[in-house]
Amino acid sequence: MRFLGFFLLPLVALAEVPIEHSAELSRIFQEQNARGTFVLLEAKTGKLIAHDPERAAKRFIPASTFKIPNTLIGLEAGAVKSVDEVLPYGGKPQPFPTWEHDMPLREAIRLSAVPIYQELARRIGLAKMKESVARLEYGNHRIGTIVDRFWLDGPLEISAIEQTQFLARLLLGRLPYRPENVAAVKEITVLEKLGEYEVHGKTGWCTSSNPDIGWWVGWLEKNGELTASFALNIDVLDEKADIAKRVPIGRACLQALGYK
């Protein structure tokens, strides 16, 4: 099968993107009793490998996975001086006690603190945010009129395939953003080591859809260079059980594809 380079994919209808189906990935989803998709984009070849390619092309609200581009946009726009500048959370009660204090983006992305990133979005402003989301070719480009809710409630949506493409373009320097800002995003998204690979990523949980959607998106680096980007989303039918499955399923998929 001939694969298109990832840098061409935004210009091609998703239905035309060739994807290799993996029976091994499907087995992992079946064993975990999870309904969803996992897709991996190899950086050097542009090859896409997936469980459920049809779902991989379907768009969903990105939820907290948007904290990756939100960080980049905020830095580029000068809405924050650095990922260590402390932002206010607003003083209101939050769903989680860990969100109830002022903090920098470095901490907020680790805690997935929604009010901090809402403050960042308000500082960026609607016009600049709209321009930036389009500039990033992120999903359907639609942010509506509420600058601090569009990635939580819509209208912004993105597919798993598009998540991998966005990350690959970003990390290979094919987006018009300053290298130091890309480096800052890379620094605060490091999660773990998987064998000889460094794993970066962000989870997400969209509660504005039926069913809820759980996300895990990210990338693998080896010796500081991008090896592959990936994206997983699953239906959250049992809140306690399914949310906990996101990273373990994704990690198992990466290992099944040889990243271990």
Q: Which of the four pLDDT bands, split at 50, 70 and 90, describes residue 8?
A: very low
Q: Per-residue pLDDT averaged across 7-18, rounded?
A: 46
153-178 confidence digits (pLDDT tens)? 999 999 999 999 999 999 999 999 99
| pLDDT at site 17 | 61
Of the pLDDT bands very low, low, confident and very high (cuts 50, 70, 90), residue 179 is very high
Segment 35-45 shows an average pLDDT of 96
6-23+31-229+239-256 classified as CATH 3.40.710.10: yes
Task: For 141-153, write each residue's pLDDT tens digit.
Answer: 999 999 999 999 9
Percent of all residues in the chain with a pLDDT value above 90, rounded to a whole number: 92
Q: Report pLDDT for 3.
A: 35
Residues 194, 199, 204, CA angle at the centre, nearest 5°? 125
The span from the CA of 75 to the CA of 179, in Å, is 11
Tell me the domain boundaries of the chain: 6-23+31-229+239-256
Instruction: Establish whether the linkage from the previous residue to 155 is cis, with ω within 30° of 0.
Output: yes
Active site annotation includes 64: yes
Residue 67 phi, psi (nearest 5)? -60, -25
Share the mean pLDDT of the chain: 93
Catalytic-labelled residue, pool 22, 26, 64, 209 = 64
> Which residues, 6+ apart, have CB-to-CB distance to 29 below 8 Å?
35, 36, 38, 51, 52, 249
Residue 136 has pLDDT above 60, yes or no: yes
Q: Which of 107, 2, 19, 79 is nearest to 55 (CA)?
A: 19
pTM of the model: 0.93
pLDDT higher than threshold 90 for residue 259: yes
Rounded Cα distance between 260 and 254, Å, is 7
Look at residue 5 and tell me whether its pLDDT is greater than 50.
Answer: no
Confidence of residue 16 (pLDDT cuts 50, 70, 90): low
The confidence score (pLDDT) of residue 97 equals: 97
Dihedrals phi, psi of 26, to nearest 5 degrees: -60, -35
First to last CA, the chain: 26
Q: Per-residue pLDDT averaged across 89-113, rounded?
A: 98
Other Cβ atoms less than 10 A from the Cβ of 1: the count is 6
- pLDDT tens-digit profile of 201-257? 999 999 999 999 999 999 999 999 999 999 999 999 999 999 999 999 999 999 999
Closest CA to 69 of 13, 138, 22, 4: 138
